[in-house]
Amino acid sequence: MRIVVRALCANSLCWAEETMAIKDILKTHRTWEDGVGLLLGLTIGLSPWLYDEPVVPVVLLNSGLTGLAVLALAQLELVHLRRWEEVAQLACGLWLSASPFIFHYAHQDHLRLWHWALGSIVSTLALFELWQDWNRADIAAPDR
């Protein structure tokens, strides 16, 4: 009888460990998130050329620089993870979402929708990464 009870306890213990491992998947920073950030940076930079609408040079510059910033921040996160990179990525996403109103190209429906969608995806990804890395000791302390 004891052997059976130990086997059941061992099996339930293994099942509990597997459940904990599944829950912990979302709690660690993954490299796929940085890969998505790289693709988002490229897409943001190229977004003015996806439609035949006339684009003002300042919109081209804004899209290019914002896309380059998102791309560079995602690449930095692959090399060395720091919390300020995720905060800067969040700022880039919010900036891109607000850009149609700041630079007065909200009347261009396709580009406005692209920038809203891409900005919200970048912001959501940055918030998700911040949530994952909030209690990590290796990035909480600044470099010395």
| CA 37/CA 45 separation, integer angstroms | 12
Q: DSSP strand E in the chain: where?
A: none
Tell the burial category of 67 from Cβ atoms under 10 Å away from its Cβ (0-12, 13-18, 19+).
Answer: buried
Does pLDDT of 142 surpass 80? no
Residue 55 confidence (pLDDT): 73
Domain definitions of the chain by residue range:
28-139
Q: Summarize pLDDT for 47-99 with one digit per residue, the tens.
A: 998 877 777 899 999 999 999 999 999 999 888 878 899 999 999 999 999 99
Residue 74 confidence (pLDDT): 93
Q: Summarize pLDDT for 2-45 with one digit per residue, the tens.
A: 444 444 455 555 555 555 555 555 556 677 888 999 999 999 99
Q: Summarize pLDDT for 115-127 with one digit per residue, the tens.
A: 999 999 999 999 9
Residue 78 confidence (pLDDT): 85
| CA 117/CA 79 separation, integer angstroms | 27
Task: Grade residue 133 by pLDDT with cuts at 50, 70 and 90.
Answer: confident
| CA 122/CA 141 separation, integer angstroms | 25
Buried-state track 84-93, b at ≥16 Cβ within 10 A, e below 16: ebbebbbebb
Residue 6 confidence (pLDDT): 45
Nearest to 44 by CA among 72, 75, 70: 70
Residue 50 confidence (pLDDT): 84
